[in-house]
Structure 1
Amino acid sequence: MSSSHSGGTSQSLQEDHPIVAHHAGASSVDVNGHQHTEILSDPPHGIPSRRSDSAGATVMMIPPASERTPLLKSSPPTPRLHELEDDVHDVASAEQIPTSKMFHEELRTLTLYSLPVFGTQLFEFSFVLATVISIGHISTVALAAATLASMTASVTGYSIVQGFASALDTLLPPAWTSDRPHMVGLWTQRMVLMTGMVLIPIIAIWFNAESILLALNQEPEVARLAAIYLRWASLGLPACTFNCISRRYFQSQGLFDIPTKITLVVAPINAFLNWLFVYPLGLSFRGAPFATALSFNLVSVASIFCGYYYASPTAWSPITRESFNPVTGELWKGWGLLARLGIAGVGQTASEWWSWELIGLAASRLGPVALASQFVLLISQATTYQAPFALGIATSVRIGNLLGEGRARRARIAAATSVVMAFGLACLISIFFIAFRNKLGYLFNSDPEVVSLVASIFPLVALFQVFDGTAGIVSGIFRARGKQSVGALLNLSAYYVLGIPLGLYLTFVHGRGLAGLWEGLTAALVYCSVVGLWVGVYRVDWEAEVASAQARVGGKDVGDATDE
């Protein structure tokens, strides 16, 4: 810890730390390093307050420490985000700067937030890619079983835990910029306990997958191998769930680079372990999911290490024996709000994930050429989608932080800025798809029929990008505002009422083939984008969103008001 001196007064310790304040009595230090002695009154709820002394210097009034004072909490919060705008303590003054300047500040902030998130997504995507590559060289049956197992894992497991963890997108960012930053750690601890309970039925399904898949008329050998895959993959499911939670813990504090650095280190280790276990060690098919499970656990260990040494201690709420008391313990409070946001998040996430699985099943009925082409299109779209998806995460965190600070106008401009960025990014991706539509297919397959079909659909996929990116941003804004249930209803109506029925009709009744499925999906995303922008961005009372976010910080469930 560095030390600076002004007027002979050491600033090596924070003057607002509870322990320092307790032993220093009523002594306080102003911004110029001059010391003042005041008789201080206790602010309500143990929260420090500020006022000016007779000389005009700002004085920090801090309550004496007690046995309930968090020893690691520093109050009021020190600047917790690397802001790019001027450091203005008066929120009202900060909200009065010109809109154009605020737009450019948010443009730069969101870009810097998105880049490391994009890296994290790509490196984590390599975990799946390494497994597919290592198993794909074993046999065609092994690859089919791994594909079936991955689909089953997504539908019954990963989409569920991702949806539950999305509740933290609503709770952690505003908590971090509020006057109760320790709630970041407390909500994180509560989510770890809740998802731990959710994992019990999921793991039970995975361990009984063979009988379930056989009941669904899957080939016996494929079902057997898929069940083996899921049993070994279950060793990494708790760690994968914890990683979804810890990533949000870091991101809410503006520490976007920590998850990126962790996955950057573990990704090549995962690739090596997949090769080592499958081939030299002779574990064959089971070696790949075991290697990936081990890699997820390495990420968890590294996350705990970084959380202890690099994250701010003000974000953590100490765990004591009393915390686990089911009647008075802090860990058991606010579960109604957490469960409501989590279940709505599952609806928002799983409804979209499951729709793609249904489209894949429909494509399989069109023959091997269409199925291979669907694979190429899906991998291409999924890879490029990581960019707007990263922007959606950055937007969710940024808006949540601003709502916690009470900066309604800047939150509104940040939301609008993210939409503009998503549109520009989607246009660039669309141009890329159109320009290289005749070449991209060869990266995955050398069959001229597949390449030709892929090239004919890529212009439609290019149009798809514009609305897919915007819909991703809207989903992030819904999460920041605690309106996952609105996002879930929007996705359900878009995919299952409009997109999938229209795609099936165009494909199998009008004979549009694979293009018909993508036309249906595009229609769904046009609906999602237009309705989502209207409901989720342009008709929002941002002052009311500030009040709702600050109420949720302490666990107050604002009820149906969050779902209007």
Structure 2
Amino acid sequence: MEKENLEEQRDCLESPLIPQSQQGFAKDEILGEVKKQLLLAGPLVSVNFLVFALQLISVMFVGHLGNLPLSGASMATSFASVTGFSLLKGMASALDTFCGQSFGAKQYHMLGIHLQGSLLVLLTASIPLAFIWANAASILLFFGQDPEIAAEAGKYARFMLPSIFGFAIQECHIRFLQAQNNVVPMMIISGFTTLLHILVCWILVFKSGLGNKGAALANAFSYWTNALLLVLYVRTSPSCKKTWTGYSMEAFYGILKFLKLSIPSAIMLSLNTCSTIYMIPLGLSAAVSTRASNELGAGRPRAARLAICVTLLMVVTEGTVIGTVMISGRKYWGYLYSKDEQVVKYVGQMLLLIAAAHLIDGIQSVLTGVARGCGWQKIGAWINLGAYHLIGTPCSVLLAFVYHLGGKGLWTGLIVALFVQAVCLAIVTLNIKWEEEAKKAVNRATNS
């Protein structure tokens, strides 16, 4: 049956109807795609926000212990995100290509094989990353951070060490389920974990006497809780019966292929900004990656192109609305973290720049999702490296340290990098030959 499906896909790709992928889209097609995107992106946005909220809630609890614990926890959280969480999330996103296209090609058993391979790679990668976290204080001091803040951040990072392994397991299972459009269970599990996290944080921060170290331990507890619940669901749910068929030695054979996409994927994602409201375009990015990879794997390039157009329209609308809300509420947001008026005022000033960055970041995030769905992570990685290191970083350094604009200068440089990245990804996307990408996707699924 699977061979017949693949033959039908190839026949479709070779048919004279393929040029229709360059034609316009009917109203019913657009509305149908919007519905599919919302049903997929809505739960994904919720999952991304709820997972990110674990760190956010912890920092909020610590903020009420004083400015030094808040600074240490914020520094440690940023350090952990850049050196661990973002790298693992990026590596796991290679499953967007492998699982998404295999699911579209109806090679269901391969999703479980890809999941096992990704777990082996990410858990192995977590070992050296944990070593980096254990030495966070020394690393921050080396780069000139204030000794007191570096010491606080180092303590927080060490107590977060178990988080990295739970996070790796969690991300692999999220991508596995996402590729099958099986997203509601993830939302329910993440919601339960986040509610539990609030209680655990309150106990460990205020009642146990651990202070900010308790918040770090709460993170570890919640990431592992989320991971284990996802593992339990995948292993026992009837909806995963076709895609999880048990452990197999075949997982070892695909590790090299996974690494070839996971490393560029990590570069693509790690260099992107990550904030609370970024969870919305991140969900849309995941949705378009899933939709594009599913449709390309099924040999339907025109449907993949429609999915991308619809998602871009949605993310521009979202960016405009959210940016307006952020600018309107900039004078009050800081009170969630601190009662210090200077902190609140500075947060308000930064939100003006963050609002502009959010719109551009949303566009590049969706285009990055297109890259993952099509399987050209290497191109995306080179664009990201060039945009950030050749253009964005020099601009940030110049504005922050030469013209003494501080954090505002750093964010302005980031906005420049995001703009360059979005433009370059847009140029690549506009030049995609969809029929060729569909053929590649079918061949990749067949030869997995």
Give the TM-score of the pair, scaled to structure 1.
0.71
**1:309 counterpart = 2:237:** yes
Q: 1:550-561 maps to which residues of 2 (within 5 A)?
A: 550-554=442-446
Can you list the C-alpha shifts for 1:376-426, whole angstroms capped at 9, x where unaligned? xxxxxx222221121111111111111111111111111111112111222
Q: Aligned residue for 1:3?
A: none
Q: 1:494 matched to which residue of 2?
A: 387
1:113 to 2:40 alignment: yes
Shift of 1:553: 2.3
- Does residue 1:260 correspond to 2:182, yes or no? no
Structure 2 CA distance for partners of 1:492 and 1:305, relative to 1, 3 Å: same
How far apart are the structure 1 equivalents of 2:113 and 2:371?
23
Once the two structures are superposed, residues 49-78 of structure 1 have per-residue CA deviations (whole angstroms, 9 ceiling, x without a partner) of 49xxxxxxxxxxxxxxxxxxxxxxxx99xx
Q: Which residue of 1 aligns with 2:431?
A: 539
Give the superposition deviation at 1:472.
Answer: 0.9
Does residue 157 of structure 1 match 2:84? yes
State the 1:500 CA deviation: 2.9
Alignment equivalent of 1:406, drawn from 299, 319, 322: 299
Quote the residue 2:12 is aligned against. none
Match of 1:485 among 352, 370, 378: 378
Q: Deviations over 1:232-273 (max 9, x none)?
A: 212222111110010111111111111111011111111111
Shift of 1:541: 0.8
Alignment of 1:303-382 (within 5 A): 303-307=230-234, 308-319=236-247, 323=248, 329-352=249-272, 382=275
| 1:133 is aligned to 2:60 | yes
* Distance 1:541-1:493 versus aligned 2 partners, 3 A rule: same
Contact 2:53 2:276 in 1 (8 A): no
| Higher deviation after alignment, 201-210 or 299-308 | 201-210
**Does the CA-based 8 Å contact 2:400-2:408 persist in structure 1?**
yes
Q: Is this contact kept in 1: 2:141–2:147, CA < 8 A? A: yes
Q: Map Cα deviations across residues 443-494 of structure 1 (whole Å, 9 max, x no partner).
A: 6567776666666665554443332211111111011111222222212222
Contact 1:176–1:253 (CA under 8 A) maintained in structure 2: yes
Percent identity over the alignment? 29
* CA shift in 2, pair 1:347/1:48, >3 Å: closer
Check the 8 A contact 1:352/1:495 in 2, yes or no.
no
In 1, are the aligned partners of 2:109 and 2:244 still within 8 Å (CA)? yes
TM-score of the superposition, structure 2-length normalised? Answer: 0.88
Contact 2:25 2:306 in 1 (8 A): no
1:488-516, CA deviations, whole angstroms, 9 ceiling, x for partnerless residues?
Answer: 22122222222232243344445656544
Note the residue ranges of structure 1 that are not aligned, 5 or more in a row: 1-45, 51-74, 77-89, 324-328, 357-381, 557-564
Work out the CA distance in 2 between the residues paired with 1:109 and 1:312. Answer: 20
Matched, 1:389 2:282: yes
Letter in 1 for 2:311: S
Q: What is the rounded CA distance, in whole Å, between the counterparts of 2:61 and 2:335 in structure 1?
A: 21
Change (3 A) 1:484 1:454: same
Identify the structure with the greater helix proportion.
2
State the alpha-carbon separation in 2 of the partners of residues 292 and 265 from structure 1: 14
- CA RMSD between the two structures: 3.0
- Distance change >3 Å, CA 137–CA 91, structure 1 → 2: farther
Match of 1:423 among 291, 316, 337: 316
Aligned mates of 2:333, 2:78 — CA distance in 1? 25
Aligned length: 438
Q: Deviations over 1:318-349 (max 9, x none)?
A: 32xxx3xxxxx312112221111011112112
1:241 aligns with 2:168: yes
Please list every run of 5 or more consecutive structure 2 residues that lacks an aligned counterpart in the other structure. Answer: 8-14
Contact 1:178 1:404 in 2 (8 A): yes
Residue deviations 1:197-244 (CA, integer Å, cap 9, x gap): 112212223334444445455555544443332332122221111100
C-alpha offsets along residues 518-560 of structure 1, whole Å, 9 cap, x if unaligned? 433322222222221111x21101111112222222555xxxx
Check conservation: 2:101, 2:294, Cα contact below 8 A: yes
Q: How does 1:180-199 map to 2 (within 5 A)?
A: 180-199=107-126
- 1:98-136, Cα deviation, whole Å (9 max, x unpaired): 533222211221122111111112212221122112323
CA distance in 1, matches of 2:65, 2:327: 35
Distance 1:91 1:167, change over 3 A: farther
Q: Aligned letter for 1:185?
A: G
Higher relative contact order (CA 8 A, sep 6+): 2
SS of corresponding position for 1:311: helix
Cα 1:256–1:344 shift into 2, 3 Å: same
Please state whether the residue corresponding to 2:209 is helix, strand or coil.
Answer: coil
